[in-house]
Structures are given as C-alpha cells and as structure tokens.
C-alpha cells in the first residue's frame, strides 16, 4: 500500500517534465547567461569577451541616453500604474451597484484592455495625436490651439501614458469580481453602527479587496517597466530621447546595433527596477494588504 | 421624499459620468473605423467623425500589403503563429498544473516558489540569451521559438491560473476514480478535464490574444517579410511609404483588431471568468 502511494506521487514528475525542461533550458539558463553576457562585449558575430563591469560603468557614467531612459521608464511607471489602478477602482465601484445596463458599460470599459501592446492601437494613437490630427483639430476649435504632442519632450511621454491608461479594463474586471466577494454582512453591520459610506469604503471595501489591488499593482509595474511597443511605433524614443524607455533602448542596442552584451546590462537594470519596485511594494504591503480569509 | 429625490439625482449623475467616460473609451475605436473612409485631407485638421463618402477602397488597397505580400499572407502567418502556440500552451500548462495541484511530490514547495518567481521574471532579461539559444538551434526566422516556449510551459501565468482552477475541484472526484481503477492520466482526461474545460478555454483565449498582439518577440525572432504577422506588417506599411495614406493604414488596423473584438463578443464570459479567478486567492 505504501509503495503504491509513493509511486502515485512520483507521477507528478512526469506531468511536470515539460515545465522542468522549460524552466531549466528557457528560463533559468537564459537568466544566468544574461548576467554573464552583461559582463562581456557579446555580439552575435564573435565570441563574448569578459570585460567585467565595464558595461555597467559605461551605462551609469558615459551613456547620456541612459539617464533619460531611466527617468522616462520610472516616470512612465509612476504615472500609468496609479492612474490605471485608481480608474479601475472608481469605475468598478460605480459598476458594482447593480445598476441597469451595467453589462454593456462593462464591455465598453473592458474592450480597450484586450488590445494590449497591439500595433493597431499604437498607430491609432499616432494618427489621433499628430499635429494635424483629430485631437488638435478639436483643441483648435475650442480655442486652445495646436499642441505638438509628439514634438515636445514634456507632452510626448504623457501621451504615450494615456494609451496605457486607456487600457485599464483588465484590472477593473478583477476588482469587480473581488467586490462581489465582499460579504454584504460586513456592510450591514457597518450601517447599523452608523458608519458613513466613505468610512465603510476605507474600512471594509479597501481592506477586503487589497490583495487583488496588490496583485494588479505588481503585475502592471512589471509590465510598464518593460514597455516597448508604443515608444517604438509612435515616437521612436523621441523627441530628445524623452520617451526612450529602457525596453526600447534594450532593443536598439541589442538588436539594431548588435551590442548584446551592453544591452544585457540594460536588461539587468530593468530587472533591478523590477526588484526594487516589488520589494518596496512587498515592504509596504503589511501596512495595507489584508489577508483575512486564507483558504 | 426629498431624500428619495436626492438619491435619484445622484443616480442620474452617476449614469451620466459612466456613459460619458464609456463614450471616451470607445471613441478612438469608432474614429478608427470611420477614418478608414477618409482621405488624408479629410483626416487633417477635421473634427467631424463621419466621412464625406463611404467607399471600401482603403480596405482593398490596404490589403495589397507590401512588396507582393498581401494581407492574406499576413493573416495566414498570424494564424500559423498563434494557433499552435495557443494549443501547446493550454496542453502543457494543464499537465503541469495537474502535477502541482494533485500530487504531494518531494520538492513541491520550492518548485512552486520557483513557478511563482518566474511569474515576475521580466521577458526583457531573457530575450537576448533566448535569441542566442534559438540561433544556435537554427530556428530563427520561424515560429518555432514561440512553439517551443509554449510546449515547455514557459508561460507561468497560465500554469498558475490553471492550478487555481484545479484547487477548486474536489479531490473526492479523483479518489473515486482511483477506486474505480483509473490511473492518474485517465483521471485527468475523463474526470477532471470536462470540469476544467471552461478554464482551459479562458487560458487559451488569453494566450491567443497576447500572442496575436505581441510585437516585441515577433520582431526579434522573425525577420523576413513573407513571414511577418499582421502586427509587423502594419508597422512596416506605416514606415515604408514616404507619404502615408492614412486610410489604408486605418483600414488594416480595423481588420487587425477585428478578430480580437469578435472573439471578445462571443466569449465574453470566459474572458471575465478567467481574469477574475486568476487574481482572486492571489
């Protein structure tokens, strides 16, 4: 009997086999290799030569693009992630009231998020926001005048960010599902105690759905740190490198100029940012993320 | 009475806000559709939404594509890339999720922790070494890199999602199947898969969507135009002409998002269920 049980559980390794191979060959090995490459002058045409931390030194001291890339990336994350989360939360709260016609509205809010990093919507943004585009025609009509969205370093990044924020629907759907799980007895109790709506939002709703908010913030931060498509298609990193995000720099250095060792160093900076953001978020999580009902 | 009235006004204001914001959300897509019928002169400096005339000319001309490769080819390429990738992802993620959810094997805890940490591992850090791996395997400029990543369950998001679904299925079902003499594989196929089907379908939908929309990995692994996907073709069309005829680009953009929109309207329930369950219990 005992023997049977052991062999039963060992069956797991057969089911896990594809994952184990994939993990070792296509995730762990590339991960380690990427760090090694970042310490070399690797390009696809020659064998990599070990050069120590020279790539990193160059990034942080000589590469004038890098500072701008770093600033653009961090700004992009700090603008898009909070905006997306707040939008999703507000709309989810409004849709959660069981109003009529919610289904259609939910569909409309959700739809843009399905286009993700799609080229089609990036092209659309470019056409809408170009100097002679529809948005500027409207701004002229109401007397504001033309704004060169992609020609001005101070407006280019916010315009790209607006494309990202437009796609807040997926976290909204998650929040909607989470809001449905909050036991209504909690609200009833709060009402009996005479708590105001605002009070019960902050002391019941937010704590109850905080694990989902936390999950969304982490996933969106990791994604936003790697943003590539919109910068590549719409602005090519310009003007004056104001939208030259690290994802784009990585692609240009590695696959356009074939400096793959150098680009690997950039990828480790992206990874470093992912780690910093995640650690900070996890560090703060014990103050605001509430894991009440573990199952 | 006044209180009731106040509440009603409150409701109406909420509706107006929701509908206005909803309109802003959908407006770019509507505008994109109508822009397919406008000449450049009409697009430049005009705020009118409707075109002066409707002719499907831009769809016909846009479809011609670039350098003798029409959009027939690009859509076929996208299908060739996306469909096998989606299928392989669903199969491999289901098997792996089954292994995690139903067996108490040695090293399960660290293995699960590894799975979760790969969930947060940015693609950016893996892409250069993966490129050299696929180069030495001689599979660049084909869809093989995507197939391999899918077959070897390198999309931890879906594995994690399916583990969550497995956990929702009572173990008693497995046990009664064992008593009836089923092996683990037959238990999976005959007992669990029928229950898991909607979840697998959700995972498949998301993988379909993400692979179809993907651009970053495509331009890294694929370089000959005749193998380009719709996304890559769109970007190429926009850049290859000195004077871009925007309506052609807009028309093809409409067609490019059409599969996503159609899929969404037919399978809305699976999208919502899939995404909701992933986040919960996270």
Q: Which residues of B touch A112 (CB under 8 A)?
A: 25, 28-29
With 0-12 / 13-18 / 19 or more C-beta atoms within 10 angstroms meaning exposed / middle / buried, residue A29 is middle
- Average per-residue pLDDT in chain B? 89
Cis ω before B209 (30° cut-off from 0)? no
Query: For residues A236 and B223, is the Cβ–Cβ distance under 8 A?
Result: no
Among A2-16, B42-56, B205-219, B261-275, name the one with the lowest average pLDDT: A2-16
The size of the A-B interface in CB pairs under 8 A is 277
What is the helix (H) or strand (E) element at residue A133, kind and residue range?
none
Q: B144-179 pLDDT, tens per residue?
A: 999 999 999 999 999 998 998 898 888 888 888 999
Instruction: From residue A281, give the alpha-carbon distance in Å to each of A177, A270, B65.
Output: 23, 16, 46
Q: How many CB atoms lie within 10 A of CB A171?
A: 27
Average pLDDT over residues B125-137: 95
- Say whether B69 sits in a helix, a strand or coil: strand
Selected residue with higher pLDDT from A97 and B123: B123
Q: Which residues of A touch B280 (CB under 8 A)?
A: 174, 177-178, 181, 212
* DSSP bridge partners of B66: B69
Of B35, B125, B152, the CB nearest to A34: B125
Mutate one of A9, A119, A245 to test the B interface: name it (highest B CB count within 10 A): A119
Q: Which residues of B touch A270 (CB under 8 A)?
A: 122, 124-125
Q: B37-54 pLDDT, tens per residue?
A: 988 888 887 888 888 888
Residue of B nearest to A224 (CA): B122
Residue of A nearest to B21 (CA): A109
pLDDT at res. A293: 52
Distance in Å, alpha carbon of A140 to nearest chain B alpha carbon? 9
Percent of chain B residues topping a pLDDT of 70: 96
Task: Report the phi/psi class of residue A145: left, alpha or beta, with left for phi > 0 and alpha for psi in -120 to 50.
Answer: left
* DSSP bridge partners of A43: A46
Residue B92 has pLDDT above 70, yes or no: yes
Measured torsion, CA atoms of residues A53, A58, A60, A66, in degrees rounded to the nearest 10: -130
Mutate one of A114, A136, A254, A258 to test the B interface: name it (highest B CB count within 10 A): A114
Q: Which residues of B touch A254 (CB under 8 A)?
A: 127-128
Residue B72 has pLDDT above 60, yes or no: yes
Residue of A nearest to B208 (CA): A114
Average pLDDT over residues B77-83: 97
Average pLDDT over residues B193-204: 90
Query: For residues B134 and B71, is the Cβ–Cβ distance under 8 A?
Result: no
pLDDT at res. B276: 62
pLDDT at res. B75: 96
pLDDT (tens place) for every residue of chain A, 295 residues total: 444 555 788 888 999 999 999 999 999 999 999 999 999 999 888 888 899 899 999 999 999 999 999 999 999 999 999 999 999 999 998 888 766 777 888 889 999 999 888 899 999 999 999 988 899 989 998 988 889 999 999 999 999 999 999 999 989 988 988 888 888 888 888 888 888 888 888 888 888 889 889 989 998 999 999 999 999 999 999 899 999 999 999 999 999 999 999 999 999 999 999 999 999 999 998 888 887 654 4
Where are the domains positioned within chain B? Answer: 2-59, 67-279
Q: What is the DSSP string of A39-52?
A: TB--BTTB---B-T
In the numeric block, the tokens 């940012």 are attached to: A273
- Which structural domains are found in chain A, ordered by start? 64-288 (1.10.3720.10)
Of A25, A134, A181, the CB nearest to B31: A134
Q: Which residues of A touch B179 (CB under 8 A)?
A: none
What letter does residue B214 receive in the DSSP assignment? -
Q: Give the separation between CA A91 and CA B65, rounded to whole angstroms.
A: 40
- Say whether A169 sits in a helix, a strand or coil: helix
With 0-12 / 13-18 / 19 or more C-beta atoms within 10 angstroms meaning exposed / middle / buried, residue A31 is middle
Q: Work out the pLDDT band at B79, boundaries 50, 70, 90.
A: very high
The verdict on a CB contact (< 8 Å) between A12 and B128 is no
Query: For residues A82 and A90, is the Cβ–Cβ distance under 8 A?
Result: no
CATH fold of B67-279, please?
Answer: MetI-like fold (1.10.3720)
The verdict on a CB contact (< 8 Å) between A44 and B279 is no
The verdict on a CB contact (< 8 Å) between A177 and B235 is no
The verdict on a CB contact (< 8 Å) between B209 and A116 is yes
pLDDT at res. A279: 94
With 0-12 / 13-18 / 19 or more C-beta atoms within 10 angstroms meaning exposed / middle / buried, residue A142 is exposed
């Amino acid at each position: 009997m005992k023997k049977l049980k052991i062999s039963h559980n060992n069956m797991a390794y057969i089911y896990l086999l594809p994952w184990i191979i994939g993990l070792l060959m296509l995730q762990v090995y590339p991960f380690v290799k990427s760090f090694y490459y970042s310490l070399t002058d690797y390009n696809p045409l020659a064998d990599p030569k070990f050069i120590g931390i020279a790539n990193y030194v160059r990034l942080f001291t000589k590469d004038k693009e890098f500072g701008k890339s770093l600033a653009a990336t961090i700004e992009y994350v700090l603008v898009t992630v909070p905006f997306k989360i707040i939008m999703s939360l507000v709309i989810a709260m409004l849709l959660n009231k069981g109003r009529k016609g919610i289904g259609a509205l939910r569909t409309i809010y959700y739809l843009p998020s399905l286009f993700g990093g799609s080229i089609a919507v990036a092209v659309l943004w470019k056409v809408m926001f170009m100097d002679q585009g529809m948005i500027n025609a409207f701004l002229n009509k109401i007397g504001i005048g033309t704004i060169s969205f992609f020609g001005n370093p101070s407006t280019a990044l916010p315009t790209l960010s607006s494309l990202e924020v437009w796609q807040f629907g997926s976290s909204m759907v998650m929040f909607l599902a989470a809001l449905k799980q909050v036991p209504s007895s909690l609200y009833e109790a709060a009402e009996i105690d005479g708590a105001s709506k605002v009070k019960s939002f902050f002391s019941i709703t937010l704590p109850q759905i905080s694990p989902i908010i936390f999950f969304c913030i982490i996933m969106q931060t990791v994604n936003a740190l790697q943003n590539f498509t919109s910068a590549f298609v719409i602005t090519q990193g310009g003007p004056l490198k104001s939208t030259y995000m690290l994802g784009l720099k990585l692609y240009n250095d590695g696959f356009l100029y074939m400096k793959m060792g150098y680009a690997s160093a950039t990828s480790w900076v992206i990874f470093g940012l992912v780690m910093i953001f995640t650690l900070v978020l996890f560090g703060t999580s014990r103050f605001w993320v509430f894991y009440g009902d573990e199952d | 009475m006044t209180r009731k009235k106040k509440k009603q006004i409150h409701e109406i204001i909420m509706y107006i806000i929701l509908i206005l914001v909803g309109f802003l959300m959908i407006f770019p897509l509507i505008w994109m559709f109508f822009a397919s019928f406008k000449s450049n002169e009409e697009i430049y400096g005009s705020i009118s939404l409707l075109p002066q005339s409707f002719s499907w000319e831009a769809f016909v001309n846009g479809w011609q594509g670039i350098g003798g490769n029409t959009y027939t080819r690009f859509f076929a390429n996208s299908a060739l890339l996306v469909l096998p990738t989606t299928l392989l992802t669903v199969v491999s993620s289901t098997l792996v999720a089954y292994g995690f959810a139903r067996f108490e094997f040695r090293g399960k805890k660290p293995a699960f922790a590894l799975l979760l940490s790969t969930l947060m591992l940015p693609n950016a850090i893996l892409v250069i070494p993966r490129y050299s791996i696929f180069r030495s395997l001689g599979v660049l400029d084909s869809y093989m890199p995507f197939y391999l990543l899918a077959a070897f369950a390198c999309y931890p998001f879906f594995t994690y999602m399916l583990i969550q679904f497995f956990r929702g299925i009572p173990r008693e079902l497995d046990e009664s199947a064992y008593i009836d003499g089923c092996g683990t594989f037959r238990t999976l196929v005959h007992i669990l898969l029928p229950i898991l089907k909607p979840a697998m379908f959700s995972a498949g939908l998301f993988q379909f969507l993400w692979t179809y929309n993907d651009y970053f990995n495509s331009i890294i692994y694929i370089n000959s135009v005749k193998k380009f996907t719709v996304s890559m073709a769109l970007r190429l069309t926009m850049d290859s002409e000195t004077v871009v005829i925007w309506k052609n680009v807009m028309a093809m953009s409409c067609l490019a998002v059409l599969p996503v929109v159609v899929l969404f309207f037919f399978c809305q329930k699976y999208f919502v269920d899939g995404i909701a369950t992933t986040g919960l219990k996270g």
